[in-house]
Amino acid sequence: MTELKSFIDDEEILKALSKKSTKEDVKYVLRKAADPESTGLSLEEAAILLNNTDPEMDEEIFSIPQRVKQHIYGRRMVLFAPLYVSNTCVNNCLYCGFRTDNKSLKRKFLTIPEIQREVEILERMGHKRLLLVYGEANYQPEDLVEDIEAVYAVKTLPSGEIRRVNVNIAPMDVDGFKVLQKAHIGTFQCFQETYHRQTYEKVHVSGPKSNYLYRLYAPHRAMEAGIEDVGIGALYGLYDYKFETLAVLKHAQTLEKDMGVGPHTVSFPRLEPALGSEMSYNPPYRVSDYEMKKIVAVTRLAIPYTGMIISTRERPEFRMELIKLGISQLSGGSKVSPGTYEDKNVNHEEKQQFMVADERTLDEVIYDLVQHEYLPSFCTGCYRHKRVGDMFMGLAKKTFIKDLCFPNAILTFAEYLRDYASPQTKEAGQKLIQKLLAEQGSPKRITDQLDRVHQGVCDVFF
Ligand code: SAM
Ligand code: SF4
C-alpha cells in the first residue's frame, strides 16, 4: 500500500494567513462572496476575511452570509437530535469525558431494546433525523448495522418514525464502510478535531485515534465505499482558530477534487467542559464568541453550498446569532449520554460527554426559530429520493434546492405542528407557514400537498 500523504500543508496555510488585510482586500473578497454566482473562496481570500481587524469591515463580513444562505436554501432550518449509543472508548483524547483514563465516568453501551426505547421518546418529541454517536470500542460494522436497523424499525403513531440516521463514529476501513453503507445511513460524520499535526499527536495520547492520517482520510474512504454524504469539522479550542478554519476549507476542496464532491456538512464543535478532562476546562486556544462568529461567517462564504451544523454545546441566544451567520442545521432537545432520554433521574453528568449549554426542549427551540421567522424542517426528501452526494451539490448549486427545500420544509413542519407541537408553537407555526406561502404566491403544487397533511396524511414530500 502506498504511504498516505497529508493534504494539509502547514506552510500553505501559514502563508495565506501571513498577509495583513486591507479594507480594499476585504471589500474585494466580499464583493466576490456576495455574487449570486459565487462558488466560494480560495484559502487566501478566506484568510483576508479572518485576518480583518477593522470592526466596521467585520460588520460587513457578518452582513453577507445570511443572504448567501437564503439564496441557496431559503429560510429553512433542519432539525435533528443526537442519540448516544455508547460512552465506552479505547482512546484517550485529552479533551473528552469519554476517554479511557476517565475512571469516574459510568460506562454504558445501550442494548437494542434500550436503543429502541430512546428512539420512541425521540419520535414522540417529533424528531425524524437522528445522529447516532459512539465512543470507539471493539464493535464490528455489522453491530452498527443492527443498531441502525433497530432505529428504523421503531414506529410510533401517528407519524413517528426516523427517516434518516446519520452516524458519528470512529473511522473504518473501506470494507467496513461498505457494510455500513448497506444499512442506509445518511451522513458519516467524523471531525478531525485539529488539523495541526503536532497538536493532534499531543492530544491523542493513545489508542487507534492517535493515527492522524488514518482519520484525515476517513471521509475519502467512506466515499470510496459508496457513502455519498460525509460531514467534517474541527474541534475549536485545541489550536489556532484561523489555521483550523482554513484547514477545514482545504479538506472540503480536497474532497471535491479527489472524490468529485465536497462534504455534505461542516460542524463547529467548540470545546466544552467535560468531567474528567482537565484540558476541556482550560482550552489551549480558547475561542471567544466573536471569533466563533467569524469562523461561521467566513465558512459560509467560503463553501456556500455546504450544510453547516451547530449543536447544543452553544447557548440558545448565541445559537440564534450563529444561525443568522449561515448555520443551516441544528440539534434540539439533546442529551449527550447513553440512556438519558429515557432515564431522566440519572445523574447524567456522570455519564455525559460534555456540558450542554442549550437545555431547551425541541418544542421550545422550534418556537424560538418561528419567532425569528425561520422555517423548521424535518425533511429527509433528498436522501430518500437519492438526491445525495454530487447530485445534491449539483442541485444546490443551481439553487433548485430552494424549490425543493421550501415545500418540503413546509410539509414536514406542518406534520410536526399537527402531531407534536404545543398549542403556542402550533399557532405561531401555522401563522408563519401562511405568511411564507403568501410571499411565494401560495403555489397550488404546495397548497394541495399541505391540504393532504391537514387531512392526516403522513410523510408527504417532493
Ligand atoms: N468517538 C468518535 C470520535 O471521536 O470520532 C465519535 C464520537 S465523539 C463523542 C464526537 C465528537 O465530540 C468528537 O469528534 C469531538 O469533536 C467532540 N468532543 C469531544 N470532547 C468534547 C468536548 N469536551 N467538548 C465539545 N465537543 C467534544
Ligand atoms: Fe473516545 Fe471520541 Fe471521546 Fe475521543 S472523542 S475519547 S474517540 S468518544
Question: Does 7 score more than 70 pLDDT?
Answer: yes
Side chain identity at 420, as an amino acid letter? Y
Q: Residue 94 in contact with residue 203, Cβ under 8 Å?
A: yes
Question: Nearest-CA neighbor of 232 among 246, 218, 242, 221?
Answer: 218
Q: Which residues sit with their C-beta closer than 6 Å to ligand 2?
A: 89, 91, 93, 96, 98-99, 135-136, 209
Grid cell locating 119: 428512539
Atom of ligand 2 nearest to the CA of 135: 8
Helices (H), 268-399: 278-281, 289-302, 316-324, 362-371, 381-384, 389-397
Can you tell me which atom of ligand 2 is nearest the CA of 134? 8
C-beta of residue 365 within 8 angstroms of C-beta of residue 330 = yes
Q: Of 140, 161, 138, nearest to 150 (Cα)?
A: 161
Query: pLDDT at position 327, please?
Result: 96
Residue 432 DSSP SS3 = helix
- Examine the pLDDT at 213 and tell me if it is beyond 70: yes
Which amino acid residue places its CA nearest to atom 10 of ligand 1? Answer: 168
Q: Give yes or no for residue 400 having a pLDDT over 80.
A: no
Assigned C-alpha cell, 383: 436522501
Lowest mean pLDDT among 1-5, 180-184, 190-194, 279-283: 1-5
Q: Confidence class of residue 387 from pLDDT cuts 50, 70 and 90?
A: confident
Tell me how far apart the alpha carbons of residues 105 and 451 are, in angstroms, rounded to a whole number: 50
* pLDDT value of position 431: 98
Q: Among 172, 150, 170, which residue's Cα sits nearest to residue 161? A: 150
Closest CA to 58 of 288, 377, 388: 288
Residue 409 has pLDDT above 70, yes or no: yes
Going by their DSSP bridges, the two strands 307-310 and 155-156 should be labelled as: unpaired
Residue 349 is predicted with a pLDDT of 58
pLDDT in tens, 247-263: 999 999 999 999 999 99
Could you read off the pLDDT of 104-123 as tens digits, one per residue?
999 999 999 999 999 999 99
Nine-digit cell string for 30: 466580499
Cell of residue 271, nine digits: 470545546
Report the nearest atom of ligand 2 relative to the CA of 87.
8
Q: Match 506552510 to its residue by C-alpha cell.
A: 11
Is residue 84 lining ligand 1, measured as CB closer than 6 Å?
no
Cell 483524547 -> residue = 93
Q: How far is CA 349 from CA 134, 135, 289, 346, in A?
A: 17, 16, 25, 9
Which pLDDT does position 89 carry in this prediction? 97
Beta bridge pairs of residue 188: 167, 230
Query: Higher-confidence residue: 385 or 314?
Result: 314
- Lowest-pLDDT range, 222-226, 292-296, 343-347, 385-389? 343-347
Mean pLDDT of the chain: 93
Q: How confident is the model at residue 352 (pLDDT cuts 50, 70, 90)?
A: low
What's the gap in Å between 96 CA and the centre of ligand 2?
Answer: 6
pLDDT digits (tens, 9 = 90+) for 20-68: 999 999 999 999 999 988 889 999 999 999 999 999 999 999 999 988 8
pLDDT of residue 399: 60
**Weakest mean pLDDT among 26-40, 207-221, 393-407:** 393-407
Query: Is 76 within 8 Å of 406 (Cβ atoms)?
Result: yes
Mean pLDDT value across residues 132-148: 95
Whether 1 shows a pLDDT value over 60: the answer reads: no
Q: Is the pLDDT of residue 381 over 70?
A: yes
Count of all residues that appear for the chain in the document: 462
Tell me the average pLDDT across 214-233. Answer: 97
Decide: helix, strand or coil at residue 242: helix
pLDDT value, residue 181: 93
Residue 393's pLDDT band (boundaries 50, 70, 90)? low
Output the pLDDT for position 185: 92
Which residue ranges form the domains of the chain, and what is each CATH number?
10-66 (no CATH), 67-394 (3.20.20.70), 402-454 (no CATH)
Could you read off the pLDDT of 76-88 as tens digits, one per residue? 999 999 999 999 9
Rg of the chain over all Cα atoms, to the nearest angstrom:
21
| Cα distance between residue 2 and residue 217, in whole Å | 13
Backbone angles phi, psi at 427, to 5 degrees: -65, -50
pLDDT for the residue 398: 64
Q: pLDDT value at position 37?
A: 85
Instruction: Name the closest-CA residue to atom 16, ligand 1.
Output: 235
* Mean pLDDT value of segment 181-203: 96
Q: What angle do CA 383, 34, 257 make, to 5 degrees?
A: 50
Q: Does 136 or 382 have the greater pLDDT score?
A: 136
Residue 449 has pLDDT above 80, yes or no: yes
Q: Is the dihedral of CA 376, 123, 266, 316 positive or negative?
A: positive
pLDDT reported for residue 350? 61
98 Cα–ligand 1 center, Å: 9
Which tops the pLDDT comparison, 455 or 139?
455
Is 193 in a helix, a strand, or coil? strand
What one-character DSSP code corresponds to residue 106? P
Ligand nearest to the CA of 206: 2
Using left for φ > 0, alpha for ψ between -120 and 50, and beta otherwise, residue 193 falls in: left
Partner residues linked to 78 by β-bridges? 329, 377
Ligand 2 mutation pick, 88, 93, 211, 280, max ligand atoms within 8 A of CB: 93
Whether the Cβ atoms of residue 462 and residue 381 lie closer than 8 Å to each other = yes
Residue 19, all three cell numbers: 498577509
How many A from CA of 173 to the centre of ligand 2? Answer: 18
